[in-house]
Structure 1
Amino acid sequence: MALRAGQSVTRTSLAGHLSRNANSAIMRMIGSVSSVNSSHYSTTAGGNSNKVASRTVVSERRGPVVSVAINRPEVRNAVNFETAGRLLEELTAFDCDPTASVAVLHGNGGNFCAGYDLKELAHHTASLKLEQDVTRGPAPMGPSRLILSKPLIAVVTGYAVAGGLELALLADLRVVEESAVMGVFCRRFGVPLIDGGTVRLPRLIGLSRALDLILTGRPIGAPEALAFGLANRVVPDGQGLQASLELAEKISSFPQRCLRADRASAFYSAFDATSFIQAMQYEMDRGVPVIQAEAVAGAALFSSGTGRGGTFK
């Protein structure tokens, strides 16, 4: 099975990102996914429309790019227990697939994600099985404890609030439509951020701005999100998914071993390194093997005239 075949690759790549315990947890997650999911992705282009409509998460493969969509538009793509499990499966499958380079996470029906389904929390608490040890099992929103070995882009449309904001923070880049709204809306109801919001948000935008959002729960629009550094791109309404797919294809076109080594070093420096020297050593140790693997060939291309003047073609 393709997912199992990709596990050895993922073991190597994830090891550079995660602590030993967390890495073991991801491997346990991958093993459980392998036993229930017989293919890499839940759907592909041209699949049965009725079957796709009934799924809470649908995905599509476009060359090296995988798009993953939350498919509960009737509740603004709020995530319930089933949806959380499906999101974890799809993103783990992407991470295991050696032929996939970038994933795009979005929501069907005009909203990214309105957070955890509070109706399920209020009326079906037995279905909310919380694993309190973050090195074991999935998070309430599904994949939010992962550190993927490859880039993820979030398409922020409509509402990306509460746990939906935390899912957006899982991504490397956020492409935000002009009318989108982001915020810690769960502040109003006593629902804590337990999917990485208090960890990732201060790293991305700084503690002062993060506390502004965490303590007040106030909504912010695309212009303020861009000024904060929470949004990486702002695009007109209706263009978020296409812009994100084009961005994913561009990232996929670069030499991938070098790109992933640099990405891994940035993550390590932000989250794991205890000193400047340790971060610099990590960067060197992962960069040196890339010189022979990709940089020498790239230098030869440049010396022959490719890419002169900063062109990317």
Structure 2
Amino acid sequence: MNNSQPPRMPPSDPEPHSILVEKTAGGVTTIGINRPDRKNAINPPTATKLRAAFLDFEKDPSQKICVFYGTGGTFCSGFDLGELRKWEKPAEDQDSSKRRDSSITRSHFKPVQGRNEAPLGPGRMQIEKPVICAISGHAVAGGMELSLLADIRVVEEDAIFGIFSRRFGVPLLDGGTVRLQEIIGLGRALDILLTGRPVAATEAMHIGLAAKVVPKGEAFKEAMKMAQSLAAVPQECLNADRKACYHAAYNSPSFEDALSYEFEEAVKVSDLAIHKAMNFNKREKARL
């Protein structure tokens, strides 16, 4: 395995190692949030690097599966609220016609335009290849939103999920309201979103938020094992089925459309598999 390296950033970057990226010969990329002194909270430069790391993973044909994790015993505590000290408050006496343009949120975060940068970085992306999230410690507020980017979440036994930003009146901006209900259902999602209560690993497993619960300190190891297993199977087929699932969940206007999309994606892969099987049979016959 290569040594951990951050994505390339300008020399002036005060935290060049806030995102760690490793690429393995077996096709597994690891992306780590590395701000343990801030409970892996995300500031704007880190958000930019995190999105860049996922874009690089998508573009690299040698890399098949990503393991997404946090260092220092926790996954991510969301947006770094320390950034608020740097922000200027707009004048109180502005009339209503000017308030929209003077929005603090709009002045720091871009509106949605395709897959552009979200407040925490990659929140507006549907990652094009499988992602497994290794959850240790807390995945809360925006950190919980980031964990929902993954296809599979491997969770340590003492891990905690939760929309803890509820207590501060901060809404979700990185896809949490969109993804959570698709993963666990609308009723359960609303319970978690509206109350902001903590969700322990056992409950996360019960409601389908976690795929597997492991002992403390074992999430990354188990996620890597799972990633290596996925990287060993034919990727065209894996990604065709995965793509069809996401189309049905987020993009399909009807049941028939979802079935049609599944069929068309499968045909491309099936033809490849059938040709390989036919060639194999021909070679076997030639040996007889």
CA distance in 1 between counterparts of 2:135 and 2:85 reads: 29
Alignment partner of 2:225: what SS? helix
Structure 1's consecutive aligned runs of 4 or more residues displaced over 6 angstroms after TM superposition are 299-302
Q: C-alpha offsets along residues 114-160 of structure 1, whole Å, 9 cap, x if unaligned?
A: 0000111x212369721113426200010010011100111110000
Find 1:61's aligned residue among 4, 13, 23. Answer: 23
**Residue in 1 aligned with 2:100?**
none
**Residue in 1 aligned with 2:78?**
115
Q: Is the 8 A contact 1:80 1:117 kept in 2?
A: yes
> How far 1:262 sits from its partner (Å)?
0.5
Q: Is the 8 A contact 1:255 1:294 kept in 2?
A: no
CA distance in 2 between counterparts of 1:299 and 1:162 reads: 52
Find 2:200's aligned residue among 206, 218, 221. Answer: 221
TM-score by length of 1: 0.78
Letter in 2 for 1:45: N
TM-score by length of 2: 0.84
Q: Does 1:90 align with 2:53?
A: yes
Alignment partner of 1:67: what SS? strand
**Residue in 1 aligned with 2:246?**
267
Letter in 2 for 1:273: S
**Residue in 1 aligned with 2:223?**
244
Aligned length: 257
Q: 1:46 to 1:164 in 2, by over 3 A?
A: closer
Q: 1:299 to 1:247 in 2, by over 3 A?
A: farther
Q: Identify, as 1 or 2, the structure richer in helix.
A: 1
> Which stretches in structure 1 are left out of the alignment for 5+ residues?
1-42, 303-313
**Residue in 2 aligned with 1:282?**
261
CA distance in 1 between counterparts of 2:61 and 2:245 reads: 21
Q: Is the 8 A contact 2:4 2:22 kept in 1?
A: no
> How far 1:291 sits from its partner (Å)?
1.3
Q: RMSD of aligned C-alpha atoms? A: 2.3
Q: Which has more radius of gyration?
A: 2
CA distance in 2 between counterparts of 1:298 and 1:130 reads: 51
CA distance in 2 between counterparts of 1:298 and 1:225 reads: 41
Identity %: 41
Alignment partner of 1:153: what SS? strand
1:162-241 residue pairs with structure 2 within 5 A?
Answer: 162-241=141-220
CA distance in 2 between counterparts of 1:179 and 1:165 reads: 15
CA distance in 2 between counterparts of 1:136 and 1:148 reads: 10
> Which stretches in structure 2 are left out of the alignment for 5+ residues?
7-12, 89-104, 282-288
Alignment partner of 1:104: what SS? strand
